Amino acid sequence: MEVLSKSKIIALLSDEKNEQQLWQQADKVRQENVGDEIHLRGLIEFSNICRNNCLYCGIRKGNRFALRYRMSEEELILTVKKASQMGFKTVVLQSGEDLYYDQARFCRIIEAIKKFDIAVTLSIGERTYEEYKSFREAGADRYLMRIETTDKDLYHKLDPNMSWQHRYECLLMIKELGYELGSGIMVGLPEQSIESIAEDLLFLREIGVDMAGIGPFIPHPQTPLAKEQGGTLALSLRTMAVMRLLMPDINIPATTAMESLHPEGRIQALQAGANVVMPNVNSSEYMKLYELYPNKPIEGFSQSDIAKKIENIGRTIGKGYGSHKHKE
């Protein structure tokens, strides 16, 4: 398939008038390449403690209003067990960069939960090569870490004390170790240009992601970016749709942040190129506390609700692990 040029991507991202056609085209490419199944991943946010201070994030270290929690090892394993009993074939274990979960503790957890016959995705941030390697050997299948933006100056402004280069190297290590690699970006960051978003999409293609998450930036009131404008659902959907055109056979989630901007945001995303949904399986107490951005939908997972919505748009729930299947 012909790779879209940067100028073509910029044109598609900028074209508000013809966005419906873009979404339909992405939907068609999605159907031809990954079919009608929607893969559900059970999202477990197990700690909102983080050593970092990303300016856009509600659980950044400097937010003294955030109430912190951390599941114990036992509680986390029990929550995964619950997700497995609910029918999930994949769980995503997500947290801030909380080093309480050190190499040994995390390996124990992974080994324990693999007994539930479940694909394990980690989303716990930047770690050492040794740690990534040991988590993989313990049975972790996938790793999710957004690059957020490829504009290095912007990245360093937004993520003080972090290094874009280091994050990039982490993504390469994860890929080399044989994980399925998930990454992604935020749309609508302050000072972010359409050209920069186009470069982000080409970057995700270049590093060969197996999953790409595109979410709008939504300013959190307890962060330094509280007064910024934030991203729109329409531009996020256009970005996601172009991602589908660029990488027809990867997994693309309908992100929860899209639902924060519109009650039907996730359904719209599923009709504009997305094929994955990550319902939160935590208790509503924890869901409220894991507030990366405001107006996050606090909903308990109900298999029947999701199934109904999926059925209403003529799609089915995938029964397998929902891995990235490469097409020639």
Which residues here bind ligand SF4, judged by CB under 6 A?
Answer: 50, 52, 54, 57, 59-60, 96-97, 125
What value does the CA radius of gyration of the chain take, rounded to a whole number of Å?
Answer: 18
Strand, helix or coil for residue 148 = strand
Nearer residue to ligand SF4 within complex by CB, 67 or 78: 67
Please state, in angstroms and rounded to a whole number, the distance separating the CA atoms of residues 107 and 112.
9
Going from the C-alpha of 148 to that of each of 136, 201, 228, 232, the distances in angstroms are 24, 11, 17, 16
Strand, helix or coil for residue 143 = strand
Nearest distance, CB of residue 6 and ligand SF4, angstroms: 27
Nearest distance, CB of residue 94 and ligand SF4, angstroms: 9
What are the strands, taking DSSP E only, across 200-296? 211-216, 276-277
Nearer residue to ligand SF4 within complex by CB, 26 or 54: 54
- DSSP count for the chain of H helices, then E strands: 13, 9
Nearer residue to ligand SF4 within complex by CB, 50 or 140: 50
Strand, helix or coil for residue 291 = coil
Please state, in angstroms and rounded to a whole number, the distance separating the CA atoms of residues 9 and 12.
5
Nearest distance, CB of residue 190 and ligand SF4, angstroms: 15
Nearest distance, CB of residue 152 and ligand SF4, angstroms: 16
Nearest distance, CB of residue 244 and ligand SF4, angstroms: 25
Nearer residue to ligand SF4 within complex by CB, 123 or 271: 123
Nearer residue to ligand SF4 within complex by CB, 68 or 327: 68
